[in-house]
Structure formats: structure tokens, C-alpha cells
A and B are shown apart, each in its own frame.
Chain A
Amino acid sequence: MSDPLGGVAELRGALDDRRVSAVELVRAACARARALDLNAFTHLREEAALAEAEDSDARRARGEARSPLEGIPVALKDNVCQAGEPAQCASRILEGWKSPYDATAVARLRAAGAIVVGRTNMDEFAMGSSTENSVHGPARNPWDPECAPGGSSGGSAVAVAAGVVPAALGSDTGGSIRQPASFCGVVGMKPTYGRVSRYGLVAFASSLDQIGPFARTVEDATLVLEAIAGHDPCDATSIPEPAPALAGALSGDVSGLVIGLPREYFASDGADPEVLAAVRTAVAELEQAGAKTREVSLPHTPYAVATYYLVATAEASSNLARYDGVRYGRRAERVGDLLDMYRRTRSEGFGAEVKRRILLGTYVLSAGYYDAYYRKAQQVRTLLRRDFEEAFAACDVIATPTAPETAFRLGERAADPLRMYLSDVFTVSAPLAGIPALSVPCGFVDGLPVGLQLMGRALDEASLLRVADAYQRRSDWHERRPPEAA
């Protein structure tokens, strides 16, 4: 089997010293993607990527490297569009469909010289927490292939954890970047809502969705975020601020910075005690480095999962109305009238979890239930936002476990949707409040990775990255390699 690829910083050095070419990196990434039996990729575009790598090598030879990402192979979650490539979202309904344009995040990555090698497995339309709801079958966790990699961006997390690519894009609506990052032992970040353009991201829940990076180090994730962030007129919710310069934030200095520990997230009945212990140890390490800690309260936390599943499914039911057999992908065969075409196309094309969420969302938006469910959830969303505003008056970042557990076994929750939803208990609040959050590896329990989640003020990605980077300078969890990818 081909060797795992190093991180961006390492590969960049090798490219600069002509010890390796972008062409060789693309070949190595594709070979490794094929050799690993983890079902992380749904599509490889090796030929096109090799042609782009040749151009990249030529630019570098002329001294015209575009950015630190020049010639670096990356992967995209299958809901982030790239022109001429499939974007199936792990759904039968988008079988055969090819994207007519680049997502802004993809256009920016490519403009920075990064080379997209392929597309990664996910839960159908990003609905799930395990990457089991995929028409391609489940992706597997490289730390234990009988376990789920988390989801919905499981394939991207696996691709990075297994050393196929040093970085990948995912999307996070209720934890879909951070929870798989936690389960696979990599860094994953959901930026502030509006920080990264959603143009070209297949919509699930538009007021929550954000594209963000996976990488093995905070330094690498920062390079990717810098490349993709910033205002985009094609997304009306894009924040009209220039892309922040973030590399300067990675100073290793956290002295005086205040880390808030929300008591609701550390309740003994809310998470695996060994996960909590690993997170506490990581926080103690940051205290050693000069950070201060204080207890804070986010009192509406117990209502976050309910709020999330009402808001997200309502928006999903509306967003997924567009898959009607007219404009995209697959239409049912031998349909009668228009209504019959809609019904049969959608019934054949969507999987069970997507149908469940469309039904729930349709129900909570329907006459007689709108106020009791949807409007109520939007009001509680306001209360959750206020919780964070008050907490951030007393601290700079908030530290919690990313997930209440380590990776669960494949199939274990497939028959219990509510139990699956509850694995998002610590990740849904940040998107509801619109604030940035990341997961950084902070230990292992029984051989499976644990993630430390850091949440910050809106637009303050810099503090999160500073703290997470400071932690990685003092820990080596991110240097461990999963057994399936040795």
C-alpha cells in the first residue's frame, strides 16, 4: 500500500525542495484512496487532477506558486460542487448529475493552487451522524473499521485521518464536521455562519449550513480556512468582511485567555466519563500554558437538540422540494401525470432518513403546527444565542467535549433515529447561535479518538485556532496514525 501523505506544511517543504512533485502527490493520494477499504471516496478524478498537477508543478518551477496550498491534493465532500464533476450527495435522486459550476469555496481553493483529487462519502444530503445513510454504503472508521466515522462528513474525516489527503472540505449543519473530526482523530472546523460562502453547497438547512476544513493540524486547517473564507456576493448571507488573516493567530500564546467551561456540558450523566476526563485533562494542559478557566452556564443547552431538529428539518423540507424529477438527476420511469412524477421520483430517490426529515419538517411547518413547533424553535434559538452572548461576556472561548462518546459501532443506531440525533447534543448549539466552533484531538478511550470542542464569538475564528494550535504544540495525539492506515 502507498504511504500516507504528510500534512500541508510537510508536503509544501517537499514540493519547494523538489523532493516530490504535485503529480506524484496526486498519484499517491489516488493510489491510497483506492487501496484503503474504508469507503471514504465516492469519486476520484485522477486524470483531471494529474493535468492540474502538471500545471501546478510548472507554476512552481517558474517561481509562481500561488499560495501555501499550491500543488496540495485535497478532497471535497460530495455536496460541495465542482464544475463538471458529480455531486450526488450520497443520494439516489442525484445519480448521474454533474455540477455546472464551482462552489465559491472550491473556486478559491483551486485559485490557491490546491488540487481536488476526489469526492467523499457522506450521509445522504448531510442528514445523519454516522455516514451510514449513504447510497454508497457506510464509510468506515480507520481506528476501527467496525465503527462509524461519524457524520455527515464522514468520508472527508476518514480521508484526512487515513492520510489520503492532508486536508478536505466538509459541511457542518449540526455538527457534521466536528463530530466526525472527533470520531476520526482529526481537526475539523465550522466557521462563523456567513464566513465561508454557501454558493455551490447543496442546501440542507440554509440558516445553519457552513463549509469548513478538515486537517490533521490546526495549522493546516487554518491555511484552508484562509483560502476559502471571505465575502461572496453570490451568497446573500455571506458576511461582508474580507477573509481574515489567521496565520498570525497561531502564536502558541494563550496566557491570560479565559476558557469558559459550561456546567451543562460537563454534567456527569451527559457524556462518557472517560471522554469528560480526557477533555478536562486537555483543559488542564491549556491552564499549564497560561490560560485561565472559569465555569459558565448555557442554561438552554437541554433544549438545543429539539430546537435544532425542528429548525433543520423545516428548512430541509423546503430546500429538498427542488428534487422533483425536472431539473436534476434521476426521474422515476414510466410516470403518469406531473404529480405522479413528483411522488414517484421522490419516493424512489430519497432514503429513509431524508424522508423522515422531510416529513417532520413538513409537519412542523404545516397549518396548525407552525406556531407550536417551528416558531417556538426559532424563539428558543434566540434564547440559545443569548446564552452564548452572556457566557462570552465572561470568557474568550468555551471548551466542551465535541461528542458525548467515542465512535459507535456501525449499525448500532440505525434503527433508532432519536438516539442518533442525540449524538449531536454538544454540536448543535454553535450553528444555532451562528458562532464558530472546532474539534481538536485530545486523547483516546479504548483506542478510539476523543475530540475537544472549542466555541468562540462570532467572527473570532482566530481565538479558537490560537487555543487549538497551542494545545497541539503541547500534545501529540494528532501524530498518532490509525491502524487501518499505517
Chain B
Amino acid sequence: MSAITRDEVERIAGLARLELSEGEAERMAGDLATILDYVEALQALDTSDVEPTANPVPLETPLRDDRVRPGLAAEVAVAGAPHAEGTAFVVPKVIEGEEG
């Protein structure tokens, strides 16, 4: 199961919104194959009746009162954005239609 092709690496990169150069994709395929080969060892363990652990110190989901309370102001939230106008994040046009 552990062999991973360059095509597969490129498919995964697409899912992760990454672009890899040819050289990068080649190198990553090699690295990932080595790592996946190593983690293959887990398959030797019988875990059929074992519950998965998502949180090592399980807690009940905490709830708070449904009341308005101060949060991060919009101006502050957009202050660190690479491109903002007023209190909005500016992104390339998403909806097709007339040129803006």
C-alpha cells in the first residue's frame, strides 16, 4: 500500500491547494513513500475492538450562556490581511459575470 506515485502526490497537492515543481513532486513522492513504508508497521497491530482516541484528556463539550459578548472588532480582524477594504477581506472575483 505504501508505494505512492508522482501522479498521486500531484493529486494530493491539488487537494491541499499546493503547486509542486517537477523536482519537488519527485522528491516528495520519494519522501512520502519512505514515511508511508515506515508507518506500515501499525498494520501489524490488531485494533479491531479498540476505540480511537481523538482527545487524550476527554472532556464534555463545554457550553457557555448564549449571550452577546465582546469579540474581536472587525477592523482589528482585517488588520492583518494582505488585502482589505474597510472591514472586508478583498479576494479575487469569485462569481462569474460582468467585469467589475
Residues of A bordering B, CB below 8 Å: 97-101, 192-194, 207, 233, 236-237, 239-240, 300, 302-303, 305-307, 309-310, 317, 321, 324-331, 335-344, 346-347, 350, 352, 355-356, 358-360, 362-363, 366, 372-373, 375-383, 385, 417-418, 421, 431-435, 458
Contacts known (A100-B76, A236-B61, A329-B80); A379 close to B19, Cβ less than 8 A = no
Structural contact, A418 and B32, CB atoms closer than 8 A: no
Measured CB to CB, the closest approach of chain A to B73, in angstroms, equals 9
Q: Cβ of B68 < 8 Å from any Cβ of A?
A: no
Residues of B within 8 A of A305 (CB): 38
Structural contact, B42 and A303, CB atoms closer than 8 A: yes
Residues of B bordering A, CB below 8 Å: 1, 4, 8-9, 12-13, 15-20, 24, 28, 31-32, 34-36, 38-39, 41-43, 45, 47, 50-57, 59, 61-62, 64, 72, 76-77, 79-83, 89, 91-94
Contacts known (A303-B41, A382-B51); A331 close to B57, Cβ less than 8 A = no
Interface residue from B34, B59, B62 paired with A418 (Cβ < 8 Å): B34
Residues of B within 8 A of A326 (CB): 81-82, 89, 91
Bound Cα distance A360, B93 (Å):
31
Residues of B within 8 A of A325 (CB): 82
Structural contact, A339 and B17, CB atoms closer than 8 A: yes
9 A-B pairs closest in CB distance: A434-B56, A378-B52, A331-B82, A379-B47, A306-B39, A381-B53, A342-B17, A379-B50, A362-B16
Structural contact, A207 and B54, CB atoms closer than 8 A: yes
Bound Cα distance A14, B4 (Å):
61
Structural contact, B56 and A356, CB atoms closer than 8 A: no
Structural contact, A378 and B54, CB atoms closer than 8 A: yes
Structural contact, B52 and A379, CB atoms closer than 8 A: yes
Bound Cα distance A341, B43 (Å):
39
Closest to A195 in B: B57
Residues of B within 8 A of A418 (CB): 31, 34-35, 38
Structural contact, A341 and B15, CB atoms closer than 8 A: no
Interface residue from B15, B35, B36 paired with A362 (Cβ < 8 Å): B15
Closest to A207 in B: B55
Structural contact, B42 and A362, CB atoms closer than 8 A: no
Interface residue from B38, B52, B80 paired with A306 (Cβ < 8 Å): B38
Q: Which of B9, B19, B52, B57 has the most CB of A within 10 A?
A: B57
Bound Cα distance A305, B4 (Å):
20
Closest to A300 in B: B45
Structural contact, A336 and B47, CB atoms closer than 8 A: no
Residues of A within 8 A of B28 (CB): 355-356, 359
Measured CB to CB, the closest approach of chain B to A456, in angstroms, equals 13
Bound Cα distance A378, B58 (Å):
14
Closest to A357 in B: B35
Residues of A within 8 A of B43 (CB): 372, 376
Residues of B within 8 A of A338 (CB): 91-92, 94
Contacts known (A240-B59, A326-B89); A417 close to B19, Cβ less than 8 A = no
Residues of A within 8 A of B55 (CB): 193, 207, 237, 434
Bound Cα distance A341, B16 (Å):
13
Structural contact, B91 and A347, CB atoms closer than 8 A: no
Bound Cα distance A434, B16 (Å):
28
Structural contact, A335 and B35, CB atoms closer than 8 A: no
Residues of A within 8 A of B9 (CB): 359
Bound Cα distance A331, B89 (Å):
12
Residues of B within 8 A of A101 (CB): 72
Structural contact, B62 and A375, CB atoms closer than 8 A: no
Bound Cα distance A422, B13 (Å):
25
Bound Cα distance A373, B64 (Å):
35
Residues of A within 8 A of B62 (CB): 233, 236, 240
Residues of B within 8 A of A382 (CB): 47, 50-53
Residues of A within 8 A of B35 (CB): 309, 360, 417-418, 421
Interface residue from A194, A324, A337, A381 paired with B57 (Cβ < 8 Å): A194
Contacts known (A372-B1, A382-B50); A358 close to B42, Cβ less than 8 A = no
Structural contact, B15 and A366, CB atoms closer than 8 A: yes
- 7 A-B pairs within 8 Å (CB atoms) are namely A193-B57, A321-B17, A327-B89, A343-B18, A376-B47, A417-B31, A434-B57
Closest to B83 in A: A331
Residues of A within 8 A of B24 (CB): 352, 355
Measured CB to CB, the closest approach of chain B to A179, in angstroms, equals 19
Structural contact, B4 and A363, CB atoms closer than 8 A: yes
Structural contact, B52 and A375, CB atoms closer than 8 A: yes
Structural contact, A347 and B18, CB atoms closer than 8 A: yes
Measured CB to CB, the closest approach of chain B to A236, in angstroms, equals 6
Structural contact, A385 and B94, CB atoms closer than 8 A: no
Bound Cα distance A376, B12 (Å):
20
Bound Cα distance A335, B82 (Å):
13
- If A100-B80, A303-B42, A327-B80 are given as contacts, then 20 extra A-B residue pairs at C-beta distance below 8 Å, sorted by A number, are A100-B72, A236-B59, A236-B61, A300-B45, A324-B17, A326-B89, A331-B82, A336-B92, A338-B94, A355-B20, A356-B28, A359-B12, A363-B12, A377-B39, A378-B53, A382-B51, A383-B47, A383-B50, A417-B34, A433-B56
Bound Cα distance A385, B91 (Å):
45
Structural contact, A341 and B92, CB atoms closer than 8 A: yes
Residues of B within 8 A of A383 (CB): 45, 47, 50
Bound Cα distance A8, B55 (Å):
34
Closest to B94 in A: A338
Bound Cα distance A432, B42 (Å):
15
